[in-house]
Amino acid sequence: MADELLKSWRSTFSGGIMRKEKRVDSVRKAKKKKTGFTLIEVLVSILIMAIGLSAIGVSVVTALRISSQSKERSKVLAFARMQLEELHTVGFDNAAMSVGKHNFPSTAPYKGFYRVYNTSASKRRIYLRVFWDEAFYPIKRNAHKHRVEIHSTISNALH
């Protein structure tokens, strides 16, 4: 009887171990199947990265355009100030200071004009305007016109 009990206990015990090993094997197989990424997960991550990189690309292009505009505006403003300084150095009897509208010469780097107003016998008001096209958009030249305007009063007391 003891032998039968021992045999049944061994078979039950070993069967329990077998069942447990089968469960462990099935869990291991399930874990092996779950490792790695699915195709959908990879595609979604690529899409998210593409959206992020395109946003960065747009930001870089915008920053370059703004930097280019700023440099060009600085050049145009320096040109306008130089033109105004030249007008300050000539006397009222010079043709450049005659009352009316005067266009910049065709050799000038920028298009524009200045207008001289006679405010009194010893003072003249100058209104100077310079135009330029945005170089960042070479196809739409007329759509992106920019301008700088400077006003000044010149006294003839020094001349």
- Residues 43-100: tens digit of each pLDDT: 999 999 999 999 999 999 999 988 988 898 999 999 999 999 998 888 888 888 889 9
Domain-located, residue 18: no
Name residue, tokens 């958009």.
137
* Percent over 90 (pLDDT), the chain: 36
pLDDT tens track for 140-157: 555 557 889 999 988 876
Domain-located, residue 135: yes
Report which residue type is found at 115.
Answer: R
Number of independent structural domains in the chain: 1
pLDDT of 159 higher than 50: no
Domain-located, residue 17: no
Distance CA 78, CA 73 (A): 9
pLDDT of 158 higher than 70: no
Q: Which helix (H) or strand (E) holds 111?
A: strand 111-118
Domain-located, residue 15: no
Report which residue type is found at 2.
Answer: A
Domain-located, residue 5: no
Domain-located, residue 82: yes
Distance CA 4, CA 9 (A): 8
Query: What is the span of the domain harbouring residue 60?
Result: 37-155
Burial of 59 (0-12, 13-18, 19+ CB in 10 A): exposed
Q: Is residue 127 a contact partner of residue 151, using CB atoms and an 8 Å limit?
A: yes
Residue 117 pairs in a beta bridge with 125
pTM equals 0.62
pLDDT of residue 40: 92
Q: Tell me if residue 95 falls in helix, strand or coil.
A: helix
Average pLDDT over residues 11-38: 61
Greater confidence (13 vs 4) lies with: 4
Greater confidence (125 vs 33) lies with: 125
Give the number of other Cβ atoms within 10 Å of residue 97's Cβ: 20
Domain-located, residue 30: no
User: Minimum mean pLDDT among 12-26, 86-100, 111-125: which range?
Assistant: 12-26
Domain-located, residue 9: no
Give the sign of the dihedral formed by CA 13, CA 17, CA 20, CA 22.
Answer: negative
| Mean pLDDT of all residues belonging to the chain | 80
Question: What Rg do the C-alpha atoms of the chain give, in angstroms?
Answer: 42
